[in-house]
Structures are given as structure tokens and as C-alpha cells.
Amino acid sequence: MFKLFKNIDRKNYRPVFGGLDILKFIGPGLLVTVGFIDPGNWASNLAAGAEFGYALLWMVTLSTIMLILLQHNVAHLGIATGLCLSEAAAIYLKPAYSKILLSSAMLASISTSLAEILGGAIALEMLFKIPVKAGALLVTVFVIIMLYTNSYKIIEKWIIAFVSVIGLSFLYELSLVHIDWNEAVTGWVTPTFPNGSILIIMSVMGAVVMPHNLFLHSEIIQSRQWNMEDDRIIKKQLRYEFLDTLVSMLVGWAINSAMILLAAATFFKTRTPVSELQQANHLLVPLLGNNSAIVFAVALLFSGIASTITSGMAAGSIFAGMYKEPYDIKDNHSRMGVAISLLIAYGIILLITNPFQGLIISQMILSIQLPFTIFLQVYLTSSQKVMGKYRNTLFSKILLYSLGVIVTLLNIALFVSLF
């Protein structure tokens, strides 16, 4: 999905900057934002709004703030060092530590792939009555072929455009239903923990702040990288990259919030229990009428395919990084990482009896792994040895480590609730 310019002679390449500078840098943030409307997000947001109304909107706000800070910080690593997060971990950490941390990241990628493949399979069932497990096989094989042949580049812009339109449809629908905006504003800024909500809270966080996206962003940001020895260009990249990340993540915040608001205004208001992702198509009825189920299913299929491709690439990047190599689908390590993530995810799907619950739990697993990625990332970006003069400031270091502590405490609360 992302064209990597690993072979460009960045030392001698000097772009000409003009009034439209930012257009040269926009892209990585928007592509990462596609993950905001993947099947895992839809399931988590649907459950949050249907079960708890407006009460869990604060987690979307908190997660988005965390995501802006973390995505910018990991992009900072890629820009300043020319390394992705996985490569940097393998190079600068002791082998025993890096292997453990990167192996946990691979597990998170598998969990992500599971949700994305499952979403695509549910869409095939809605459209063509194909059983979920057979549909999962079709999605897995299709994505592997697309990744291994790079043919996904032909349709990627169409996929992103279509899924984005559906995401924006959720925003537009807010004008068609009754939303209690006083409750919504309170929900956005007031942390609450309704009885039995911790699993959904962690699922929402895992669906927004996805560990594999942190690894992938540090890789794809280098597609905008030119002269590694020119401080002027590096500083300009850092400035525009932050704007790209900020705008993109705010769009994601709005779409995630809209999904919860619509679920609260429909399912929660009528006390309608939600037990399957297919029920989300009802949110589009006011806008699309009787065709909502078909449009939703097509969007879900495209979303599942697009996000499965992203997840597979992230796995390839993580696995190749273990061997101190950049992502390159022609390289065996990258190909092996892709295969490990997608095939193991498909194997787990064969064992799942409740697809909707499987989606929720897969997002929760991401939140459990997240502290490991955060602490790894902050350690590397705070290191003089790794980042040189571009290392984190003391304020940034304290802020980023605090995010890791918050996520850790929420995970502890999750474990306490389970027992």
C-alpha cells in the first residue's frame, strides 16, 4: 500500500520547497487513519454505544490524543534515523530483549489480522451467503496474492476512497438522528467506568491505538524522506509530518465518535442487544434506506481487505526488522512475516464460534500488548545514541512515559475485572 523509496540517493536529492510544501508530506497519516474504520473498530464502537450509550466516548478522546502523540513520535524515529521501530529495536537493544518485544508485536499483528480477515469474511457472508470460515480463507488467499505481487497498488486508492465515504456517511447521519449533545459532550471529557465496561473500554483503545500501526508508520514515513544529512529538510519533515498526523487522527476521532453516537441513539436508546457486526448496517438506514445492508457489506469487505493488507505489511516490517532489515516484499524475511501473521490468524478463525466476540477480544489483545510497544518506542526515541540531537525532550519523555503508565494501569484494571 505504501511505496518505499529505499534506493533513492537521499544525500544528493534536494527537493524544491514552495507554497504547497505540505502536499509533499501528506499521506502516511491519512493511510494509517484508514485503520480507524476497520472491522475491529466497527465492532468495538458498536458495542460501546449499544451497551453504554455516550458513557465511553471519553476513551475515543483519550485514545486519539495518545495516538497523535505516539504516531508523531514514532514517525520522528523514522525520519531522524532512517530506521523503522523494529529495525531500531534489533540494532540498539540486547538480542534477548528485542526478540521478546518484537515477538509480542508479531502476536499483536496476528490479532489485528484476525479481526480484519474476520470482518472481510462477515462481509462475504452478507453479500453472497458464503460461510464465515470459507470467506476467511478467500480473504486470506486474496490478500497474500495481492501483497506478494504488489498488485494491491492498482486498487488501493479506490478502496481507501470507498471506505472513507462510508466513514463520512456516519458523520453525516448525525444530522438525521436525535443526539443528546449535552450527554455526548460530557461523555467525551468525563472518564467513567460503568459496571462491566472494562472489556469494551480496552477494546476501543486497542482498536484506535494499534501497536502494528506504530511499527508501520515508522516504516512508511520514510517514503517521504529525502536528504538524511540536511537538517533543514529533516526539520521541515518533522513539522509537516506532525500536521499530517494531527489532521488525520482528528478525522479518525470524528468517525469513531460518530459510530458510538449513532449506536447510542439507536440500539442503546431502544435497548436493542447487539450480538453481531451485521447489525451495524442498520445505522446506515436513515441515509441509504433498504440498500444500507448491501452498501455496508461492500464497505466492510473493502475495509477488511485494505486493513488486512496493512496488517500483513506491518507484520512483514516487524519480522524483517528482527533481522535488521527494512520491509521489502521481495525479501524472504518480509514475506515470511506476512505469511506468519495472516495464516496463523486464519487458523485461529477456524476455532472461533462467536465472530463478533472474537472481534472484540482481538482488539482487547492489542491493548494488552500496547504498553510494551510504547515503552520500547519511548526508550529508543529518548536515546542520544539512537536519535542524536533529535531525541525526546525531558517534557516529551515524561509525557510519553505517562501514556505508557496509563495504558498499563488500564490493563491491570482489566485483569482485576476478569478475576
- The single-letter DSSP state of residue 225 is -
CATH class of 21-418: mainly alpha
Which pLDDT tens digits describe the chain residue by residue (419 residues)?
A: 344 434 434 444 344 434 344 444 444 555 566 666 778 888 899 999 999 999 999 999 999 999 889 988 998 898 888 899 999 999 999 999 999 999 999 999 999 999 999 999 999 998 999 999 999 999 999 999 989 987 666 666 666 676 677 777 778 878 878 899 999 999 999 999 999 899 899 999 988 888 988 898 888 776 544 445 566 666 666 666 677 777 778 888 988 898 899 899 888 988 888 888 878 777 777 766 777 778 778 878 888 888 898 899 999 999 999 999 999 889 999 999 999 999 999 999 999 988 888 888 898 899 899 999 999 999 999 999 999 989 999 999 999 999 999 999 999 988 888 76
Domain boundaries, the chain: 21-418
Q: Is-contact 86 320, C-beta < 8 A?
A: yes
Neighbours of 195 (CB within 10 A): 7
Q: Is-contact 27 106, C-beta < 8 A?
A: no
Cα 124 to Cα 118: distance, rounded to the nearest angstrom:
10
The answer, as to whether pTM is greater than 0.95, is no
pLDDT at residue 398 in the model: 96
pLDDT at residue 95 in the model: 94
Neighbours of 130 (CB within 10 A): 16
pLDDT at residue 404 in the model: 95
The grid cell for 129 is: 451467503
| Residue environment code for 151-190, b if the CB has 16+ CB neighbours within 10 A, otherwise e | ebeeebeebbebbbebbebbbebbeeeebeeeebeebbee
